[in-house]
Amino acid sequence: MASEDEATFGLIPLVSRGWGRKGGRLTVLVHQENKFTNVFAARSKKSFVFMFSKKKKAKDFIRFSRKLIDRWNKVLLFVDGAPCHKGAARKFCEEHKKVFKLVRFPAYTPELNPTEQCWKPARKALSNRLLKTMPAAKYHLKKTFNKKDSTPKLFQYLRD
């Protein structure tokens, strides 16, 4: 049993709190290229699985779903109402109904999805950094996602 979500991370920096001289003028260096990557992620009680993708399309979600099946053998996946979970993804679920099942969260309830909480540490890892290339951004994201202590505790309803 796991929950899934997707997010977008780019090179344009997120500005958060920082230090500066009292009375001084603060400036932020910005890399103007609007390059970005998408991340599909699933979270279970014991692990966090993620995959980078150029787009948030159904074929990318299916590729991620295959990765989950290879890792966990049988998957019960809670998802939101994103467009990538419809169309071809439904056909994939029908073809793999013995090992893969999708359950939808109610509409407009991101607070129920524990994977949503995993994006906060990742955004914090990228904040106040001048990243010039996508491999640099992916490096910091991978580093954050692979830390056990950076993923927040699961809500009680997904524990058993």
Dihedral of CA atoms 160, 86, 117, 110 in degrees, nearest 10, equals -90
Tokens of 144: 């954050």
Bridge partners, 50 (sequence order): 41
> pLDDT per residue over 110-146, tens digit each?
888 889 988 999 998 888 888 889 999 999 999 999 9
- Percentage of the chain beyond pLDDT 90 is 51
Closest among 124, 134, 129, 120 to 30, alpha carbons compared: 129
| Residue (of 56, 70, 82, 57) closest to 3 by Cα position | 82
pLDDT band for 160, please (50, 70, 90 cuts): very low
pLDDT at position 114, please?
A: 87
- The answer to whether residue 32 scores a pLDDT higher than 80 is no
**Cα 105 to Cα 81: distance, rounded to the nearest angstrom:** 7
Structural domains of the chain sorted by starting position, each given as residue range(s) with its CATH number in brackets = 2-12+33-151 (3.30.420.10)
- Report the C-alpha dihedral over residues 48, 111, 2, 158, rounded to 10 degrees: 110
Q: What is the amino acid identity at position 57?
A: K
pLDDT at 150: 67
Average pLDDT over residues 47-62: 94
Calculate what percentage of the chain has a pLDDT beyond 70: 94
Question: Which range among 11-25, 42-56, 138-152 shows the weakest confidence by mean pLDDT?
Answer: 11-25
Confidence (pTM):
0.85
Question: pLDDT category, 149, cuts 50, 70, 90?
Answer: confident
Q: In the predicted model, what is the mean pLDDT of residues 25-41? A: 83
Pair 154, 1: CB distance under 8 Å: no
